Structure formats: C-alpha cells, structure tokens
Amino acid sequence: MRAHRERRVVSTHSLSRREIVALVVVVAVFAAWLLMPVIRQPQEYHAFADQRAFLGIPHAADVISNLALVAAGLFGLWRTQRTARLLLPITRASLVVSFVGMALSGVGSIWYHLSPTDVTLVWDRLPMTIAFAGVYGAMFAERISARAGFAILLVALVVGPASVVHWALSGNLSLYVVVQFGLVAGVLLLLVVTRGGPDALPWGMLLLWYVIAKVAETADASLWNATGGVVAGHMVKHVAAAIGGFAVALALRPGDGSTRGAPARQAPGMSRGPAPARASKALNGTTVIQVYDGLRRAGYRDKVSFHPTSSITEERSMKTKQLLRRAVFVAGVAFATSWGVAHAQEVPMVTGEHWTTSTEAAKKAYLVGIANLVQVETAFYAANPPSDSQNFVPRLARGLKGETLDSVRQGLDRWYAANPGRLQRPVLETIWFEMAVPGLKK
C-alpha cells in the first residue's frame, strides 16, 4: 500500500510528455526575447488610412467596429456560463478571462482610436494581453493538461500586462512582440504536435481569424486603396478578431435552460430522446440490485468492457435492437433511480454520497448502465458516427478503453476515499475527469 502511494505521488508530480513539450516551447519563446534587439513603436502606426468622421466621431469606422469585439466578449461570457459542455474548471476560468479581455479590448480600442497616440495605445494593448492569456490557458488545459493550463494562464496574466507596462516605461516593444506573436507561434506548434482527435473548441478557426486580422492590420492602406476608399484594413482587423471570438462562443452550446454546472447535472447523451424517461416510468419501483441480479443471471460478467467491440459494428442491424432494449433497461434504471427506487419525472444525479454508501452490486449496476450506453451509441451510429464535438460518448469510450467494471469501481472508491470533502461531486463527472480525460491524453 505504501509503495503504491509513493508511486502515485511520483506520477502525479512528474511531467507528462506533452507537458515537457509545452514547457520547452514556452521557455524557448521567452529565451528568444533575451536575444531580440530593442524594438520601438513606429509613430506612423497611428496614421490609419480611414480618417473619416461620422456623427462627430473621429476615425468612425475604426471606433465603431470595436463594438463587434465588445459584443463577442459579452456573448462569450454568457455562453461560458450557460454551456452544457463538459469543461475542466481551468478551461472554464480561462474562457472567462479571455472573453473579459476581449470585451475590455474593444472598449480600450475605442478609447485609443478616438485619439491615436502611444499613451492611449496602452489601454488598447493591455486588455488584449488578458484575452491572449485566457486563450493560452484554455488551449493548454484542453490539449496538454489542467495544470499546464493553470500554469500558462498565470504566467501570461503576469507577463502579458507587464510587457505593455515595460513598453510604456522603456519604449522597448520587444517583450510585447514575444507575448503576442511568439506565444501564438508556440501555441500553433503545440496544436500540431499534440494533435489527438477533433477539438471540442475551434482553436484552428480562432487562429485562422487571428491571422486574417493581423494581415488586414498590415494591409490597412493597401485595402483602403484597393476598395477605392470604402474599407480600410484596420476595421477589417477588428471584425475578424470578433468573428474568431464568436466562433469559440458558438461552440459553447447552452443547455436546456440550465446554467453553470449543467454538465454535472445530467448524464451527457441521455437527453437525446424519450427512451430513458419511458424506461424510468416503466421501471418505477425497480431497484438497481434487482437489475444487476437479473443481468448476472442473463450472462453478464464483471469484466464488461467500456470500449465498443468490433462485432457490434459488424452486425449492426441485429444487435442494435438487442443492445437498445438491454441498454434502455439498464441505463434507464441506473440513471433514473434514486439509488434504490425509481422516480418517473426526474433523472437524479448520483453523487459520491450515493456511491460511498452503496453496496458493490449497486455500484456495478450503475457502471453496467454506462457501459451499455457506450455500446448502444456505438452500434446505433456505426455507419455515420457523430463528431466528438457533437457527442460525449465516443470520447468516453476512448478514454475508458481497456477499463473494466472492477477497475472503474476501484478507481472511484479510491478517489472518493482520498477526497472525503468532495462527496457532492457527481460520479459521472469523476469518471470523466479522473479516468476518461487522462486516458485520452495517453
């Protein structure tokens, strides 16, 4: 037991391969700053091509277009609070930081474009570094690990604003260039080398619109001349950056009227149709122990796998119907009973309190329901499987590949024993974050 605990401590505190790659990239980016020459802010930067006023507003197009950034930031905050996606806490926090920074960047840019100078430019760039910090944190958390996301978020929240202050005091823009362009290049590299399947959030789309924004900014006068004085590049930059923000926000699909924490309040994938609710009503009064005993008599064994087998997809037409009946029966009870007697009108969330006070048979009955749900979803969508962003189950299946009922049960027992203060945490959430997510990163 002691040896096991020691190995666990070592594995918890050691860096994974992806974390090492991320660390090397970040260190290399900041090391490059030490070799960079002093970079001054060109004063001609403030001379934008579109000088038109509108309703007394100077540089109206560049000023008003920033409202798109404010709108994208506020919309993103609203979606982050209401999303039904399963997000790591650090991912959610990073997205909040990013959208707050985006909204403030729009306000700061409005202030700057009313009277473009180095002094007002500080209030444009300062919130921009906050937005970047949030993006870095969310990307690292999703692609590398939660602690990597937390680390880069803290670093970027300190170094980003410091780079703007450093420029304002010294006139040297090099650190800000590293924070914006160097880290973006590093993140792009990480997205390539840590590719592990479709992303839940559209990082590629965000980077695409960022590149479009920077190209438009560089081509401010060229675009103005090319359009005959209709549109300048800097206004296009603001709109493109806002579209990138909207792309991420739109990926955070809201739940059915629920607010923050929706992923932990329902079993993902169970609300796709009325079958679970019908099973709940039909099985009202049936206990999970009776279900589990019935499954044992029907030939189920404790070595049920959470990963779909090839035989299911090969014999889809026959086995889908068989699995559907079996899964609705098991999953309907496991998810629609209050760990004993079923309630017809609600689907309660099984928490650590239920788990730690239940028998071994009850725990296995719950896990059998999840395993069967994975199987039936795979069989049903065998020919046209949905993308990871549309369905929770494929990622759950991959993350739990090789696990058995006993291994998952023992893992849950260990986690709740080690975290007695978190018994309110839903069991499904613990399975996802403590078992499936680490499995996906292997």
Answer yes or no: are the C-beta atoms of 399 and 357 closer than 8 Å.
no
Termini Cα distance of the chain: 25
Secondary structure of the chain as H, E, C letters: CHHHHHHHHHHHHCCCHHHHHHHHHHHHHHHHHHHCCCCCCCHHHHCCCCCCCECCECCHHHHHCHHHHHHHHHHHHHHHHHECCCCCHHHHHHHHHHHHHHHHHHHHHHHHHHCCCHHHHHHHHHHHHHHHHHHHHHHHHHHCCHHHHHHHHHHHHHHHHHHHHHHHHHCCCHHHHHHHHHHHHHHHHHHHHCCCCCCCCCHHHHHHHHHHHHHHHHCHHHHHHHCCCCCCHHHHHHHHHHHHHHHHHHHCCECCCCCCCHHHCCCCCCCCCCHHHHHHHHCCCCCHHHHHHHHHHHCCCCCCECCCCHHHHHCHHHHHHHHHHHHHHHHHHHHHECCCCECCCCCCCCEHHHHHCCCHHHHHHHHHHHHHHHHHHHHHCCCCCCCCCCCCHHHHHHHCCCCEHHHHHHHHHHHHHHCHHHCCCEHHHHHHHHHHHHHHCC
The pLDDT-based confidence of 244 (bands split at 50, 70, 90) is very high
Answer yes or no: are the C-beta atoms of 343 and 337 closer than 8 Å.
yes
pLDDT recorded at residue 333? 44
Q: Is the pLDDT of residue 272 over 60?
A: no
- Percent over 90 (pLDDT), the chain: 28
Q: Is the pLDDT of residue 302 over 50?
A: no
- φ and ψ of 338, to 5 deg: -90, 55
Q: Compute the chain's Rg from CA coordinates.
A: 26
CA 325 to chain centre: 33
- Average pLDDT of the residues in 207-236: 90
Q: Is the pLDDT of residue 113 over 80?
A: yes
Q: Is the pLDDT of residue 43 over 50?
A: yes
Flag the least confident range among 10-24, 43-57, 107-121, 363-377.
10-24
pLDDT recorded at residue 380? 61
Whole-angstrom distance, CA of residue 201 vs CA of residue 213: 20
What is the CATH number assigned to the segment(s) 16-262?
1.20.1070
Whole-angstrom distance, CA of residue 376 vs CA of residue 320: 6
CA 242 to chain centre: 19
More confident residue, 299 or 200: 200
Q: What is the mean pLDDT of the chain?
A: 75
- φ and ψ of 425, to 5 deg: -70, 130
- Average pLDDT of the residues in 189-218: 79
Q: Is the pLDDT of residue 371 over 70?
A: yes
pLDDT recorded at residue 238? 94
Whole-angstrom distance, CA of residue 98 vs CA of residue 153: 10
Q: Is the pLDDT of residue 431 over 50?
A: yes
Instruction: Locate the domains of the chain by residue range.
Output: 16-262, 266-440
Instruction: Express each pLDDT in 409-424 by its tens digit.
Output: 888 988 888 888 888 8
- Average pLDDT of the residues in 104-117: 94
- Average pLDDT of the residues in 6-21: 61
More confident residue, 438 or 199: 438
pLDDT recorded at residue 68? 95
Answer yes or no: are the C-beta atoms of 342 and 283 closer than 8 Å.
yes
Instruction: Name the residue among 354, 353, 352 with its Cα closest to residue 362.
Output: 354
Query: Residue with structure tokens 């005091």?
Result: 169
Q: In DSSP terms, which residues pair with 83 in a beta bridge?
A: 254
The pLDDT-based confidence of 309 (bands split at 50, 70, 90) is very low
Answer yes or no: are the C-beta atoms of 114 and 59 closer than 8 Å.
yes
pLDDT recorded at residue 226? 93
Flag the least confident range among 28-37, 153-162, 185-194.
185-194
The pLDDT-based confidence of 243 (bands split at 50, 70, 90) is very high
The pLDDT-based confidence of 430 (bands split at 50, 70, 90) is confident
Q: Is the pLDDT of residue 133 over 50?
A: yes
Instruction: Name the residue among 107, 143, 152 with its Cα closest to residue 125.
Output: 107
Q: Global pTM?
A: 0.58
Answer yes or no: are the C-beta atoms of 413 and 440 closer than 8 Å.
no
Whole-angstrom distance, CA of residue 48 vs CA of residue 118: 14
